Structure 1
Amino acid sequence: MKPENKADFQRIIRATGYSMKGLKSAYINEAAFRQEVWLSLLLIPLGFILGDGVIEKILLVCSVLLVLAMELLNSAVEAVVDRIGSEYHELSGRAKDIGSAAVFMTMVMFGVTWILILFF
């Protein structure tokens, strides 16, 4: 017998609750995420104001949101690595460094997007 499909509205509500729990946890426990959230509260409205046309507004706003999303992924990787053990291991360090590099690359993309749209 095929298992019941749980893709109903209640699943969406539960998934939204888990997402809100994750955002709250990241905000409470991750200083970098807190800083980026506060900066995004300034930059997202600015993106809507400074963007000339729908495409520019989307690029400005979504580049900010992408930094937040990447920071969440980096925080998740760090939490998993820290859960495994506190002793140093080359692979643990590599995983954390690569997560940090992903955030950095997203910030570079954010900067390039804003500079090109606003100044060229």
Structure 2
Amino acid sequence: MANDNQARGWRRIVRAFGFSLKGLRACFRFEEAFRQEVIALIALVPIGLWLGETPVERALLVGSLLVVPMVELLNSAIEANVDRIGLERHELSARAKDIASAAVLISVIFTTLIWGLILVPKWL
């Protein structure tokens, strides 16, 4: 029997999917920001589907929402990795965490911009 690193074909895909689900569960359990973003996603996806008039608008509205938790997952992974190295304050650790946090902010700005560009002209 092959070990985890030698899995091939469908077995590798199934195992990778399992690891992905494990990561989602861990982030949901330990990261409040991720939980908040998932709640917002659940609330806003139906609104985006309803407000988008074309398939492209719907894709942009919903797709931009998915970017935020995706970037939050990466942010949380970076923070966990930095914390694993050590909890003492270090300039490079703080910089890594701040940069990852900035990526989340940019994703929120991106989503807000997409929603504004699509929806504001409809109400003006």
TM class by shorter chain equals over 0.9
Q: Distance in 1 between matches of 2:14 and 2:55?
A: 30
Shift in Å, 1:52: 1.1
Letter in 2 for 1:28: R
Segments of 5+ residues of structure 1 without an aligned counterpart are: none
Q: Which residue of 2 aligns with 1:35?
A: 36
Q: Which residue of 2 aligns with 1:48?
A: 49
TM score, norm. by length of structure 1: 0.94
Q: Which residue of 2 aligns with 1:100?
A: 101
Shift in Å, 1:119: 1.1
Q: Which runs of 4+ in 1 moved over 6 A?
A: none
Question: Number of aligned pairs?
Answer: 116
Q: Secondary structure at the match of 2:73?
A: helix
Percent identity over the alignment?
A: 51
Name whichever of 93-102 and 41-50 sits farther off.
41-50
Tell me the alpha carbon deviations over residues 64-108 of structure 1, each in whole angstroms, 9 at most, x when there is no partner: 100010000000000000000010000000000000000000000
Q: Secondary structure at the match of 1:87?
A: coil
Shift in Å, 1:7: 3.9
Segments of 5+ residues of structure 2 without an aligned counterpart are: 1-5
